Structure 1
Amino acid sequence: MSKRHASKYKIDRRMGESIWGRPKSPVNRREYGPGQHGQRRKGKLSDFGVQLRAKQKLKGYYGSITEKQFRRIYAEATRLKGDTSANLIGLLERRLDAVVYRAKFVPTPFAARQFVNHGHVKVNGRRVNIPSYLVKVGDVVEVKESSKELAIVLEAAASGERDVPDYLEVDHGRMIAKYVRIPALTEVPYPVHMEPNLVVEFYSR
């Protein structure tokens, strides 16, 4: 299982943005980067630097995705018909851990990965414990009966911190979500501006 070793909030400070929109993010207090050199005046980024930052921000947002996994997702996006950047976002939002997070079954993408790994989720009535599993349009994702009363689930569902996007139909009473359609970039509720076109440029150099 992949594990993030760096502090999650260090990513926020490195990017200079609260990429998950969390109120506790240190960026809300300190906009400079982490470490002893964090307060140095930043120089203008090169085109490569801008593309790299866009890639790190998008990859970091989805939790503990490794570089190898992310590159594989990009490769799949290039094979699909249509715009590669739109395909990339579509594939990321089809990941089971992303759907569990979007449905507000858990509070964070990191919790979603762990929640799926621990076998708390079913897809179309069958238990699936692979966070990278790709959900298809029409699939029904639900929290296992014995896991519906977990504190983390109840707190996430009751939280007013974020809304469920329109491409999911969610019943929090039954803890069931239906994947209605693959979203466009403009439909995905990122707290910060994501630039998948720059990610495509980064990998296609």
Structure 2
Amino acid sequence: MTKRTSAKYKIDRRMGENIWGRPKSPVNRREFGPGQHGQRRKGKMSDFGLQLRAKQKLKGYYGDLTEKQFRRIFAEAERVRGDTGENLIGLLERRLDAVVYRAKFVPTMFAARQFVNHGHVRVNGQKVNIPSYRVKEGDVIEVRNRSKQLAVLLEAVQLAERDVPDYIDADHTKMTAKFVRTPGLGDVPYPVMMEPNLVIEFYAQN
């Protein structure tokens, strides 16, 4: 299983933030953007710029989703009753790749997508290889037996940089995780501030 490092670090540098909280992020060493003019990009950002950045940051965090994927999720969040921002976060966290990442079966969100794609995951006993598969409350996600000794899995379980949130009940001895409930924004352990309210403003005006 290959590790994709350049893309996620490029996102960090573009945002100027360590959006996954990874210790090796280049933003830990320098906070300016990429390129020879990166240090000069410190002007006051417009409202549109702030909204666009909030959208790009949220998209980037979940494995750099395409605009089409993200807009479709946002449209669904708008249709569901309740707060659109909270709905958006809940829908993103119910993606199978996000649950695999949260359960600490893999070290990064990019690795989670690949892990699911390669058929290492079962949901309620059934093989699922679609990263965008939407998990329901009470669903049990497990790593298939043949994959339980993969190096990427054993490495991720030992990571001290993040904990499993309380809306997922993970058992690393059995390599299973139960999706207990759909989280709200305040429940999700983002290393940086996410602003779904600005994402709503962006789509309302564009």
Which interval holds the TM-score relative to the shorter structure? over 0.9
Tell me the TM-score normalized by structure 1: 0.96
Does residue 1:154 correspond to 2:148, yes or no?
A: no
Query: In structure 1, the residue corresponding to 2:40 is in which secondary structure?
Result: coil
CA offset digits 1:154-183 (Å, max 9, x no partner): 111122111000000010000000000000
Q: CA–CA distance in 2 between the matches of 1:33 and 1:41?
A: 7
Query: In structure 2, the residue corresponding to 1:119 is in which secondary structure?
Result: coil
Q: CA–CA distance in 2 between the matches of 1:51 and 1:68?
A: 17
Does residue 1:186 correspond to 2:174, yes or no?
A: no
Does residue 1:120 correspond to 2:120, yes or no?
A: yes
How far 1:15 sits from its partner (Å)?
1.1
Q: CA–CA distance in 2 between the matches of 1:175 and 1:89?
A: 25
Q: CA–CA distance in 1 between the matches of 2:41 and 2:64?
A: 30
Check the 8 A contact 2:97/2:112 in 1, yes or no.
Answer: yes
Q: CA–CA distance in 2 between the matches of 1:41 and 1:137?
A: 44
Tell me the TM-score normalized by structure 2: 0.95
Letter in 2 for 1:123: V
CA offset digits 1:114-171 (Å, max 9, x no partner): 0000000000000000000000000000000100010111111122111000000010
Query: Which residue of structure 1 lines up, in the alignment, with residue 25 of structure 2?
Result: 25
Letter in 2 for 1:155: E
Does residue 1:77 correspond to 2:77, yes or no?
A: yes
Q: CA–CA distance in 2 between the matches of 1:41 and 1:72?
A: 32
Q: CA–CA distance in 2 between the matches of 1:45 and 1:162?
A: 31
Letter in 2 for 1:50: L
Q: CA–CA distance in 2 between the matches of 1:172 and 1:66?
A: 31
Q: CA–CA distance in 2 between the matches of 1:7 and 1:104?
A: 21
Query: Which residue of structure 2 lines up, in the alignment, with residue 55 of structure 1?
Result: 55
Query: Which residue of structure 2 lines up, in the alignment, with residue 105 of structure 1?
Result: 105
How far 1:10 sits from its partner (Å)?
1.7
Q: CA–CA distance in 1 between the matches of 2:161 and 2:98?
A: 17
Letter in 2 for 1:58: L
Report % sequence identity.
Answer: 77
The ranges of structure 1 where at least 4 consecutive aligned residues each deviate by more than 4 angstroms after the TM superposition are none
Which stretch has the larger CA shift, 187-196 or 40-49?
Answer: 40-49
Structure 1 residues 25 and 116: alpha-carbon distance in aligned structure 2, compared to 1, 3 A threshold: same
Query: Which residue of structure 1 lines up, in the alignment, with residue 38 of structure 2?
Result: 38
Query: In structure 2, the residue corresponding to 1:65 is in which secondary structure?
Result: coil
Letter in 1 for 2:111: A
Q: CA–CA distance in 2 between the matches of 1:177 and 1:5?
A: 26
How far 1:6 sits from its partner (Å)?
6.7
Q: CA–CA distance in 2 between the matches of 1:102 and 1:7?
A: 20
Which consecutive residues of structure 1, in runs of 5 or more, have no partner in the other structure? none
How far 1:7 sits from its partner (Å)?
2.8
Which consecutive residues of structure 2, in runs of 5 or more, have no partner in the other structure? none
